[in-house]
A = this chain, B = another copy of it.
Amino acid sequence: MATIYEVSSLAGVSLATVSRVINNNARVSDKTRQKVEKAMSELGYRPNSIAQSLASNCTNSVGILVSELHGPFFGQMMAGIEAELRAAGKHVIITPGHSEEDKEKEGIDFLISRNCDALIIHVEGLTDEYLIELSKGKTPIYFMSRIIPDLKENCIYLDNELGGYLATKALIEHGHTNIAYIGGPQFKPDSQNRLTGHKRALAEHKIPFNDTLYVEGDFKETGGKKGLKHFLNAKTPFTALVCANDEMASGAMTYAREHDFSLPKDLSIIGFDNIIFSRHIYPKLTTINNPVDEMGKMAAKLVLKNVYHHKDLIINHSFDPALIERDSIAYLGK
C-alpha cells in the first residue's frame, strides 16, 4: 500500500502538504493540490485510518451498546444511528449487553478500550450512579431511551407516560371501562412511566384503577400469555387489555385465540412500540408508535454535534409517541 511519503515524493512536495490536501484544513495552492491529487490517484493511495487515528487521537468510530443485535426494536435503533453516522464518515462498533449488568459493563469496557470517540448506549442493568461515574471518564457517553437527571443533556428519550396514557385513552374512547394491564418489568423506568400514563387516563375518565387487573410482565411473548391467563383465572371481568409492549400483546393474542376468543370482538388489545411485525399479526395490532429509528438518528446527531463539532444541528431530547390505529380494538358491544 502506498504511503503518504511516496505520494509526496512523486508529487515533489513535502509530507505536510500531502497531509493538508487529504484533510483540506489549510490553504494549499491549486497548482500543488492538483499535483498531489494526481500523484494520489496514480498510486491508488488510500490514507491509513489507523495511523490517522493515532496521530490525531480520533478514531472516527462510535461505540453502540444495545441489548440485542436481533429483534425489531434494536434493529430500528441501530439502523437509525448507523445511517446518520455513516453519512458523516463515521463508523459504528456494535456490541450487545443482553440487559444484564455484568455484560453491559463488559461491553462498555470493550468499546472504551477500542478508543471509540463516543458511546451511544441503551442499558437496562446499570444504575444511574454507575453511569454518572462512567461519564466522568474521557469518553463521552450518550444514553438512548433513558433519562438520567444529572445527565439529561446526554439523553434521548421517549415520553413513555404519554404513550401509556394514549393507549388506555384509545381503549376508553372505544367504550371500554374494564381494562386490564400487563406491564413491563417494574425496575425499568419505561415500564413505570407507561403504567403511570395508564393510570392518568383512567383517572381522567373517573375509572378507578383496579389492582386485580394489573400484572407485571417480562416484555416477552410469554409475559403476555401468562398475564392473560392470570386475568382469566382471576375472574374479574374485563373487555380490553393493554400490553406494555408488542411482544406481550402478540403473546396475549395467541393465548386468547387458543382459548377460543374471537379477536377483537371478545377482547380488545393494544400494544406498545409499533415494531415491524405488529402489522403482520392477526388482527393487525393497534399500538403506540415508538420512533426508535428517529431517536437513533437524533442520538447520532447529538454525537456529531458535541463530539465531532458539526454546528447547526438541532437536538430534540424528548420524543412523543403516537397512536397507530389498526384492527385489534373493537367498540364495546359491537
Are the C-beta atoms of B59 and A69 separated by less than 8 Å?
Answer: no
A70-97 contacts to B, CB under 8 A, are 70-72, 74-76, 78-79, 82, 86, 91-96
**Contact between A254 and B276, CB atoms less than 8 A apart:** no
Distance in Å: Cβ of A276 to nearest Cβ of chain B: 7
Shortest C-beta distance, A4 to chain B (Å), equals 14
A282 at the interface (CB under 8 A from B): yes
Q: A69 contacts which chain B residues (CB < 8 A)?
A: 75, 78-79, 82
Q: A69-B79, A277-B277 are in contact. Are A114 and B94 (CB under 8 A)?
A: no
Q: Which residue of B lies closest to A282 (CB)?
A: B282
Cross-chain contact A50 with B95 (CB below 8 angstroms)? no
Establish whether residues A92 and B94, one from each chain, have CB atoms under 8 Å apart when the complex forms. yes
Q: How often does this chain occur in the complex, in copies?
A: 2
Closest chain B CB from A41 CB (angstroms)? 15
Q: Select the residue from A70, A96, A110, A281 with max chain B CB neighbours within 10 A.
A: A70
The CA-CA distance from A282 to B257 in the complex, in Å, is: 9
CB contact under 8 A between A59 and B50, given known A82-B95, A93-B92, A281-B281? yes
Task: Give the CA-CA distance A47 to B78 in the complex, in Å.
Answer: 28
In angstroms, Cα B115 to Cα A54, docked, is 13
